[in-house]
Amino acid sequence: MSKPRIKVPKKAAAGDIISIKTLVTHQMESGQRKDKEGNVIPRKILNKFACEFNGNPVFSADIDAAISSNPFLQFSARVAESGTFKFTWTDDDGSVIEAEKTIEVS
């Protein structure tokens, strides 16, 4: 599994609303395509994304087959204290991609 690319500001003031961008490499096979023999290529996508800050849910997304390969997500978070963002993507096969980013809040 490749490493997700995540942009979180290193520092913020308490109460700031920050913008977070994530991009993870994944083919997001939609289950709609067929191979050369005409067999349907089975669906294999990341179907769930979740972001937590210090253990509290911030944002999540239920992803369907219409999301492009290498899924990109941008969203916001309000930060009151320093801490760690935890990002998880869940694959159709049950495997999980995880990443963490810390932020310093003054």
Partner 1 sequence: MNPTRRQFLTGSAIIAAGGLSTLGLPAFAAAEDVTKALADFVGDSETKTGKLTLKTPEIAENGNTVPISVSVESDMTEESYVESVMVLAEDNPLPNVITFNFTPASGKAEASTRMRLAKTQNVIAVAKMSDGTVYTDTKNIKVTIGGCGG
Closest approach of partner 1 to the CB of residue 24, in Å: 12
Sign of the torsion angle spanned by Cα atoms 51, 6, 44, 90:
negative
Q: How far apart are CA 87 and CA 9, in angstroms?
A: 15
Closest to partner 1 by CB, 1 vs 40, is 40
Closest approach of partner 1 to the CB of residue 54, in Å: 10
Distances (CA, A) of 94 to 12, 23, 67, 97: 35, 19, 18, 10
Closest approach of partner 1 to the CB of residue 44, in Å: 15
Q: How far apart are CA 90 and CA 51, in angstroms?
A: 12
Closest to partner 1 by CB, 61 vs 99, is 61
Closest to partner 1 by CB, 2 vs 68, is 68
Please give the residue ranges that form the binding site for partner 1 (CB under 8 A): 17-18, 30, 32-34, 38, 53, 56-69, 71-78
Closest approach of partner 1 to the CB of residue 31, in Å: 8
Tokens for 54, please give them. 């210090």
